[in-house]
Structure 1
Amino acid sequence: MSDPTADPAISVFFKVEIDGRPLGAFTACEGMGVEVTIEQREAGGNNAFIHQLPGRLKYTNVKLTRAVNADTQLVAEWFSTMSGTVTRTNAHIAALRSDDHKTPIWHWDLTGVIPVRWTGPSLSADTAKVATETLELAHHGFLKG
């Protein structure tokens, strides 16, 4: 068993690349998940239970969040390449160590990626909040790279 203090995944950054195109580092990555859909079938003459059969895999959208910075331009440039046509690509997300922000702790390769949404900051002179952006990606699945 590994030492849990050897590579702590605390305050990590998530470096994102789309088909080799860097999009910079994000401070939050949510929604990395998969669900097996279940189909229920009732068998005639069997009143004790309902058969639950595994169906398709359903992957949740991945949401990446960070403070607006110079790398925000990289996302804008990626979106500008899609004018009129959105093609599925592959993404590489690497969780980087908190002490050097360079050494990967773990990484995932997402297949069939398309951007779902980019949300920019809510700007108000009344509140002193960090301006953040969120990038949401749909995908066909992920593997540990």
Structure 2
Amino acid sequence: MAQNQQPDPAVSVCFTVEIDNINLGAFNSCEGLGCEVVMEQREEGGNNLYVWQLPSRIKYSNIKLSRPVTKDTEKVTAWLSGMINGGARKTAHISAMTVEGTVVARWSLMDVVPVRWTGPSLSPENVKVATETLEIAHHGFLHAGS
């Protein structure tokens, strides 16, 4: 690498998750950030050239966050417990950060609700790192200023 080139910030990132000012800590994997526009097809009488493609609604995919088990796991289980006991949907912020702590990108999600949490499989025969996965659903992205 040339002397004045900076390393690509997206090569090694972690994702910090904050839900209504509760910092759930850093995750090393984030999958599912995205959306899809559902299209409706309409045929127009007398028009044989094409079928109208009309956008109808947006579907948001669930987001899966994974990491090794840390002290922050307690924060996740406390949030899950609060939601199970009748907690309201929350606003979440996912920030992609470099190892130095610089925010590369940030996504704000509205009406977040947990879908699934998978804890570690602990076994003396299995020497892999204990990991957890949190899956959340949401109703869309908020503007950057929200």
Normalised to the residue count of structure 2, the TM-score between the two structures is: 0.87
Matched, 1:33 2:34: yes
Structure 1 SS opposite 2:141? strand
SS at match of 1:81: helix
Change in 2 beyond 3 A, CA 1:57/1:83: closer
Residue 141 (structure 1) aligns with: 140
CA shift for structure 1 position 6: 5.7
Distance in structure 1 (CA, Å) of the matches to 2:56 and 2:7: 38
Q: Distance in 1 between matches of 2:31 and 2:143?
A: 16
Q: How far is 1:19 from its partner?
A: 0.3
How far 1:144 moved relative to its partner? Answer: 6.0
- Residue 113 of structure 2 aligns with which residue? 114
Q: Percent identity?
A: 56
* AA aligned opposite 2:27: F
Q: Give the drift of 1:34.
A: 1.0
Paired with 1:84 and 1:103, the residues of 2 have a C-alpha distance of: 36
Deviation for aligned residue 1:140: 1.1
Q: Does 1:91 align with 2:83?
A: no
How far residue 141 of structure 1 moved from its aligned partner, in angstroms, is 1.0
After superposition, residues 44-83 of structure 1 pair within 5 angstroms as: 44-83=45-84
Structure 1's unaligned 5+ residue stretches are none
Q: 1:40 to 1:5 in 2, by over 3 A?
A: farther
1:124 CA drift (Å): 3.3
C-alpha separation between the residues in 1 aligned to 2:83 and 2:138? 17
Whole-angstrom CA distance in 1 between matches of 2:128 and 2:47? 60
Matched, 1:8 2:20: no
Query: Deviation per CA, 1:15-57, whole angstroms, max 9, x where unpaired?
Result: 1110001101100111000110000111223333221111111
Superposition TM-score, scaled by structure 1 size: 0.87
Query: Does the 8 A contact of 1:7 with 1:105 survive in 2?
Result: no
Q: Runs of at least 4 residues of structure 1 off by over 6 A?
A: none
Moved more, 79-88 or 105-114: 79-88
Structure 2 CA distance for partners of 1:144 and 1:95, relative to 1, 3 Å:
farther
Does the residue aligned with 1:82 lie in a helix, a strand or coil? helix
RMSD over aligned Cα atoms: 2.0
Q: Tell me the distance in 1 between the aligned counterparts of 2:40 and 2:124.
A: 51
